[in-house]
Amino acid sequence: MDKYKKNNILKQQGREGRYMAIRNLRYQGDDILKKKSREVPEEEIASEKIQSLIDDMIETMHRYNGVGLAAVQVGVLKRIVVIDLYDDHGPIVLINPVVIKTKGEQEVDEGCLSFPNEFAKVIRPAEVVAEYTDRDGKRMRVKAKELLAQVISHELDHLEGELFIDKIIPGTLEYIEPEKG
Ligand code: NI
């Protein structure tokens, strides 16, 4: 991507016209990734600080072509997750998410923005029912299956300081070099 395009992305506007910024990702080996994130007090959700963090997390996820990102991955120990499956729904913001129920299993290929170029097979629940607060402060419930169930399970693990690399199926880890150029 050339600089001109990159500048355009940096100038994209979030909610209420805020400028969005790409935040620095935390990578494998950074101790913060093993820490547990803290609940966001409901009265803080509408604050500029939290809303800007959410905008920046979405921008950062998109920049790195991720389908999910937890706040801890940009160095903020708050229970906030953003997900985008690049479908009609658009980005989903989950604040203080809680798993209500899981059902079944799926064996899936998985990676993580904090582990660039590393992919492995992992067992995730086939279905996940979760409750969360959205960025407007409304308590919501999502019933997810397939990829969305996988991503919710992966991102909620981040909030507990748990990483996919610690639950991979042995022998399935692959390093895939990014294309040059
Ligand atoms: Ni991850």
Domains, the chain, in order of start with CATH, read 3-175 (3.90.45.10)
Sign of CA dihedral 20, 21, 27, 30: negative
Average pLDDT over residues 94-100: 98
Average pLDDT over residues 145-173: 97
Which of 100, 95, 99, 98 has the alpha carbon at shortest distance from 76?
95
Ligand 1 center to residue 93 CA distance, Å? 15
Number of helices and strands (H, E) in the chain?
A: 3, 8
Ligand 1 center to residue 72 CA distance, Å? 10
Model pLDDT, residue 9:
45
Indicate yes or no: pTM above 0.85.
yes
Ligand 1 center to residue 158 CA distance, Å? 7
The overall average pLDDT reported for the chain is: 91
Residue 96, pLDDT above cutoff 90 = yes
Query: Which positions are catalytic?
Result: 155
Note the residue count of the chain. Answer: 181
- Residue 167: is it exposed, middle or buried by C-beta count within 10 angstroms (0-12/13-18/19+)? middle
Q: Is 9 helix (H, G, I), strand (E, B) or coil?
A: helix
Average pLDDT over residues 36-59: 97
